[in-house]
């Protein structure tokens, strides 16, 4: 283990370490604490510039009910789920297959295809914006959750393939060899031999993609409009009005919007940590 386990350090160092942990955490999360405090401030506090002091009075209930009553935030969150979950499933499914193909088989175009995915992954969003909008339009999927999810699946496949391929590469190849000697078909190898071993990677990727897609604002703006199909990130901005900077409501909305990925992270934490341990499945 590196660094040296703190248990084997002298007592003062141990105590210092345990004391340093919460201090570091508060400093690290200070910006978040500010958001949480702001989410219970009154509109007067915001106009008066009181962002860091203690709120003059607490509007916890008012602010949080206000965002649900005055805005279709529930609908936005539902839309976010409708975009995010199919994207996670789609991108992970596609990349399990591509990652498997690229990691296990030796063929001429292997590296070329792999490099295409990796390179595409670096592409700036902006270069895709106009053509993707037109394409979505032509397919009649403009302003639909499906159109948005399809694009996300396609784009995220790049990153997921890189991730999955490296993960599968690190797996013991002997398992596959042995199965082949037994005469097991390639699809069965994929399904019964490789896929079960990929579970940690799948969990990790799922959390990552969930976070990416949940927080996407740019594409939501390009491909959707209105509360019928827009996800929460785009909706969040509607809380900040044209004439009134309703930062307290935006903060409350941000907290609500951040909950699903946070919960997801907590629930999947064990898999997540395991999954990110690239090449450590010996």
Partner 1 sequence: MTDISPSTPSRGWWRRNQQRFAPWLFLAPGIAMFLVYVIIPIFQSMSLSLYDWDGLGEKTYIGLDNYRELFDDEAFYTSLKNNVIWLVLYLLAIPAGLFVALFLNQNVTGIRLYKSLFFFPFVISQVVVGLVFSWFYDPSYGLLNIILQGFGLEPIPVLADERYATYGIIAAGLWPQTAYCMILYLTGLNAVDPEQIEAARLDGAKGWRMLWYVVLPQLRPATFIAMVVTIIGALRSFDLISIMTDGGPWGSTRVLAFYMYEQAFSEYGFRMGYGAAIAVVLFAIMMVYISAFLWKMYRDERGR
Partner 2 sequence: MFLRTKTLVAALAASTLLASGATARELVINTDTSDPAPKKAFEQLIADFEAEYPDIKVTWNLFDHEGYKTSIRNFLTADSPDLANWYAGNRMLPYVKAGLFAPIDDVWDEHNLHETLAPAAASMTIDGKKWGIPYTYYQWGVYYRLDIFNKLGIEEPKTFDELLAACDTLNANGITPITIGTKYLWTAAGVFDYLDLRTNGYDFHMALTQGEIPWTDDRVRAVFANWKKMLDHDCFIDNHPSWSWQEALAPMVQGEAAMYVMGNFAVAPLREAGLTDDQLDFFQFPVIDPSIPLAEEAPTDTVHLAANAKNVEEAKLFLAFLARPDVQTKINATLGQLPIAKGAEIADDKFLREGYEMLSNTTGGIAQFFDRDAPAEMAKAGMEGFQEFMVKPERLDAILERLEKVRQRVYK
Q: Which among partner 2, partner 1, none contacts residue 61 (Cβ within 5 to 8 A by kind)?
A: none
Quick note: the x/- pattern for partner 2 over 120-159, rule CB under 8 A, is -------------x---x-xxxxxx---------------
The residue within the footprint of partner 1, chosen from 43, 85, 94, 227 (CB under 8 A), is: 94
Q: Say if CB 39 and CB 252 are below 8 A apart.
A: yes
Cα separation, 153 vs 159, whole angstroms? 10
Total of residues contacting partner 2 (CB under 8 A): 31
12 vs 8, 15, 22, 24, 222, CA distance in Å?
A: 11, 5, 17, 18, 56
The residue within the footprint of partner 2, chosen from 13, 60, 107, 240 (CB under 8 A), is: 240
C-beta atoms surrounding 216 within 10 Å: 22
Q: Alpha helix (H) ranges present in 39-144? A: 43-47, 60-70, 73-104, 110-122, 125-138
Taking CB under 8 A as the criterion, which residues in 197-226 touch partner 1?
Answer: 211, 214-215, 217-218
C-beta atoms surrounding 131 within 10 Å: 9
Quick note: the x/- pattern for partner 2 over 9-48, rule CB under 8 A, is ----------------------------------xx--xx
Residue 55: Cβ-neighbour burial (10 angstroms; 0-12, 13-18, 19+):
middle
The residue within the footprint of partner 2, chosen from 65, 70, 185, 269 (CB under 8 A), is: 70
8 vs 138, beta carbon nearer partner 2: 138
CB of 236 to partner 2, least distance (A): 9
DSSP letter for 3, please.
S
121 vs 227, beta carbon nearer partner 1: 121
* Binding of partner 2 by 231 (CB under 8 A): no
Q: Which among partner 2, partner 1, none contacts residue 235 (Cβ within 5 to 8 A by kind)?
A: partner 2
Cis status of the peptide bond prior to 275, with omega within 30 of 0: no
Stretch that binds partner 1, among 59-67, 69-77, 81-89, 120-128 (CB under 8 A): 120-128
Total of residues contacting partner 1 (CB under 8 A): 104
CB of 124 to partner 2, least distance (A): 17
176 vs 257, beta carbon nearer partner 2: 257
Three-state DSSP state, 244 = coil
Helix (H) or strand (E) holding 262: helix 247-276
Cα separation, 67 vs 250, whole angstroms? 9
DSSP letter for 8, please.
G
Given the rule CB under 8 A, which residues bind partner 2?
43-44, 47-49, 70, 133, 137, 139-144, 221-222, 225-228, 234-235, 237-245
């Amino acid at each position: 283990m590196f660094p040296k386990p703190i248990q084997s350090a002298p007592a003062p160092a141990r105590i210092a370490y345990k004391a340093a942990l919460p201090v570091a955490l508060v400093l690290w999360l200070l910006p978040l604490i500010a958001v949480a405090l702001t989410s219970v401030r009154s509109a007067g506090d915001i106009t008066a510039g009181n962002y860091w002091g203690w709120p003059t009075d607490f509007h916890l209930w008012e602010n949080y009910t206000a965002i649900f009553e005055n805005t279709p935030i529930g609908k936005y969150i539902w839309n976010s789920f409708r975009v995010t979950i199919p994207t996670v499933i789609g991108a992970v499914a596609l990349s399990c297959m591509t990652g498997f193909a690229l990691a296990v088989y030796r063929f001429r175009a292997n590296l070329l295809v792999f490099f295409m995915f990796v390179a595409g992954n670096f592409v700036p969003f902006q270069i895709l914006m106009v053509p993707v909008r037109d394409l979505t339009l032509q397919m009649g999927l403009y302003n639909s959750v499906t159109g948005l999810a399809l694009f996300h699946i396609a784009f995220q496949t790049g990153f997921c393939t890189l991730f999955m391929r490296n993960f599968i590469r690190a797996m013991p190849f002997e398992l596959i060899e042995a199965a082949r000697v037994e005469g097991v078909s390639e699809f069965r190898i994929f399904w019964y031999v490789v896929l079960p071993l990929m579970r940690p990677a799948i969990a990790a990727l799922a959390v990552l993609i969930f976070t990416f897609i949940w927080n996407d604002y740019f594409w939501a703006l390009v491909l959707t409009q209105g509360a019928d199909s827009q996800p929460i990130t785009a909706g969040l901005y509607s809380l900040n009005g044209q004439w009134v900077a309703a930062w307290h409501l935006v903060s409350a909305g941000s907290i609500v919007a951040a909950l699903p990925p946070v919960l997801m992270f907590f629930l999947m934490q064990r898999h997540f940590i395991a999954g990110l341990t690239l090449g450590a499945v010996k």
